Structure 1
Amino acid sequence: MHWLKLKITQFPTHQNKMESRVTRCVTLLSGGLDSMLAIRIMQDQGIEVEALNFKTMFTCCQDLSAQAATRLGVRLTVVSQEDDYLELIKKPRFGYGKGANPCVDCRIYMFERAHKFMEQIGADFIVSGEVVGQRPMSQKRRDLDVISHQSGLEDLLLRPLSAKLLLPTLPERNGLVDRDRLYAFQGRSRKGLIRLAKAYGLDEVPTPSTGCALTESLFGRKVHDLI
């Protein structure tokens, strides 16, 4: 696996060195609003965040993730695809969306690698900006459960924007994360998310985008022809 470390200032923690070690999480950062909010929610609870972005031949938002990491004051690690990624595109276990996008399989793939990264750096859990019901292919409640299970993360995967609609995760039950300060967003409306962004001082709200060319119907047809 290829790890590319970007030099980005880390968000300062407020915990004294003499106290017990800081709670640390790995958060997937696409550069979109949801992942940025997920990071802000963790930072608001004094949790140290390591941001992780996945680069494949089909993604187009690496600059956005780097810019977002700078705005949020977190370190960003960019992970490149491995050789087995194309096999996932050819034969997805959980099917395609409207294009050639195997979104559920792709999320599982990313979280498996995020899990390895979490263990490598000694973080406590994984955070994602996923919102229940926001994306039809990968964010229905059942899809989220499948992704958590198939990635091997189970209840180490926290989705703070919709946490109150889901069962408490291990970091919530162990007191590492205050569940009362998490949210219950669901569906495709962004109004509540935008209000939360403004409350966190995120005035420049990114335009919604999947960031993946595989979701585009025309490009997807070309990919299907090739594979």
Structure 2
Amino acid sequence: MPKNNSVKALVLFSGGLDSMLAVELLRRQGIAVRALCFTSAFFDAQKARQSAAALGVNLLEKDISAAHLALVKNPPHGWGAGANPCLDCHALMVKTAGELLKPKGGFSFIATGDPTALSVTLRAAKGKSVGFEETIVDKVSDGPFDFIATGEVLGQRPFSQTKSSLRFVEKNSGIGGCLLRPLSAKLLDETIPEREGLVDREQLLALSGRGRLVQAALAREWGISDYPQPAGGCILTQASYGQKLKNIFQIWPECTKDDVALLSLGRHFFRPNVSPNILIVLGRNKEENDKLPLLAKKGDWLVKMTARSGPMALLRPISGQRNNLEDAFGFLEEAKKLILDFTKNSDYSEGVNWKVWGKN
């Protein structure tokens, strides 16, 4: 049994209850714990930060946007119901943790929580940046860490948390027997940290299935009250959003994180198989109208009515077309028509004044 925080663990941390329980379960064995979360174009660190603060655990965050977007565009093992490459995504996260942290932190093994919503920030030990940021909320010393852990529960998700899926992630992450899932450990093969006595297997759990009653009871017993309720999960699992992504990937294979960000709000219009092509995004309410200028980048155009309330339009050239008013003119007129079509209860008999400006 580890004593006096002599064993150090890094927990892949989504901020959900399962990953919070994984942290607390290990801490109750006297293990010093830090949390690691990933961010991308499709998930951020907000939930993980809040939950880490509630637990009093140091939170590390790593942006994997480029690698993750490439994986979403072309997943080696396919999508789920939406555009979710869960198996490949989980393997990427565990592999990234192993490649980034093991050489610098001296990890002996890795354990993980639910990696579908991973988000937090990593900063290197003793101020030496390795591309991470860190929110320090306790006094756990920097590495070397002995292992990494997650809050995954066997059978909780029908696609990504079956025994075969968990084995797939372990195999394809390159971690081997060093991946620990504390909440379901007694239902899974013994791992290296258990065999080496760094973790007491008898104090780990045997949770399985989609029920949450046991987790809720443990949270009450351990005094964990500030945790997020289960929600819709990763946006990539949503069929409607997934179809938008697949459409964009087909028309615009080189789209970036900034381009994908536009799909999370507004109405979207583009012309398949037409060149030149452009993406037009209309805000559906004031909140979305306010966000569009913040998401605009060089080469974009913005259009709105000056004396009336209604949608704002953002126009983004597809495939690197130039920010040229002459080239954009036809699309600007199309955007104006769309704005009028989606403006409620408007009388245009006296004409409409427009504001059109480009992002430089």
Shorter chain as normaliser: what TM range?
A: 0.7 to 0.9
1:133 aligned residue (139, 145, 155)? 155
1:76 aligned residue (59, 78, 81)? 59
CA contact 1:26–1:114 (8 Å) conserved in 2: no
Larger Rg computed on CA atoms: 2
> 1:105 is aligned with what amino acid?
D
Q: CA shift at 1:207, angstroms?
A: 1.1
1:173 is aligned to 2:195? yes
1:65 is aligned to 2:87? no
> 1:75 is aligned with what amino acid?
N
Q: CA shift at 1:95, angstroms?
A: 1.4
User: Displaced runs of 4+ in structure 1, greater than 4 A?
Assistant: none
Larger deviation: 153-162 or 201-210? 201-210
Give the alignment's TM-score, normalised by structure 1: 0.87
Matches within 5 A, 1:28-39: 28-39=12-23
Q: Note the alpha carbon deviations across 1:97-150, whole angstroms, 9 max, x for none.
A: 111000110000100111134312221111010000001121011000010111
Q: CA shift at 1:211, angstroms?
A: 4.2
Residue number in structure 1 paired with 2:206: 184
1:146 is aligned to 2:130? no
1:124 is aligned to 2:107? no
Larger deviation: 128-137 or 83-92? 83-92
Q: CA shift at 1:90, angstroms?
A: 1.5
Q: Note the alpha carbon deviations across 1:27-57, whole angstroms, 9 max, x for none.
A: 0111100000000001000111121011011
- Secondary structure of the corresponding residue to residue 84 of structure 1: helix
Distance verdict in 2 for CA 1:80–1:212, change over 3 Å? same
Give the alignment's TM-score, normalised by structure 2: 0.56
CA contact 1:50–1:76 (8 Å) conserved in 2: yes
1:193 is aligned to 2:176? no
> 1:178 is aligned with what amino acid?
D
Distance in 2 between the 1:32 and 1:143 partners? 20
- Secondary structure of the corresponding residue to residue 158 of structure 2: coil
Distance in 1 between the 2:145 and 2:33 partners? 9
Distance verdict in 2 for CA 1:162–1:23, change over 3 Å? same
1:55 is aligned to 2:39? yes
CA contact 1:118–1:125 (8 Å) conserved in 2: no
Aligned CA RMSD, in angstroms, stands at 1.6
Distance verdict in 2 for CA 1:210–1:158, change over 3 Å? farther
- Secondary structure of the corresponding residue to residue 216 of structure 2: helix
CA contact 1:32–1:209 (8 Å) conserved in 2: no
CA contact 2:13–2:37 (8 Å) conserved in 1: yes
1:105 aligned residue (78, 81, 88)? 88
